[in-house]
Homo-oligomer: A and B are copies of this chain.
Amino acid sequence: MADRTAANVMGRGESLLFLTDDQLRRGIEAMFFAYRGFTADPDRILQDYGYGRAHHRAIHFINRSPGTTVNNLLSILGVTKQSLNRVLRSLVEDGLVDSRVGIRDKRERHLHLTEKGAALERALSEAQRTRMRDAFRAAGPDAVSGFRAVLEQMMDPDMRRHYLDGGDGPR
């Protein structure tokens, strides 16, 4: 079993968890290969629009939080304002995103998807949801909570905040 560096950890009062380097390496590769699958479908759709993943991310989070500001998006995406601005500019020019000057604070720009932008968002997220739904079905109900629990722990604490903030769903 080659567990010379095994980490033996007591579970929540029941089972014993063996974490050999080899098992951890399997987890690492699972993340690598799965993330590729996870992004493959949207990438194909985006290609037809001449967009990349950066556009997808912007569209996703504008859809999740309509009216969000550029600064807020910046902290979620963790890129520089120049990088994000390049992406947002093309989305606004192409009529997918609407950038409205703030009412209370006129320095801020509030971002919304146009109908055209919302249509692309639906196409992208439907492809991604389909893959995830199929994966959840195949893995079974118990696997889903485990999947989410591990991923949540894998995040940097700062990012976990954005994750937990992000919805009205449970947990």
Q: What is the interface of chain A, defined by CB distance below 8 A to chain B?
A: 2, 7, 9, 11-12, 14-17, 19-38, 40, 57, 60, 64, 78, 125, 128-129, 131-156, 159-160, 162-163, 166-169, 171
In the assembly, what is the distance between CA of A65 and CA of B95, in Å?
48
A136 touches B34 (CB 8 A): no
CB distance from A124 to the nearest CB of B (A): 10
A27 with B146: in contact, given A36-B159, A141-B15 (CB under 8 Å)?
no
A37 touches B148 (CB 8 A): no
Q: Which residues of B contact A125 (CB under 8 A)?
A: 21, 25, 28
- Copies per assembly: 2
B38 touches A154 (CB 8 A): yes
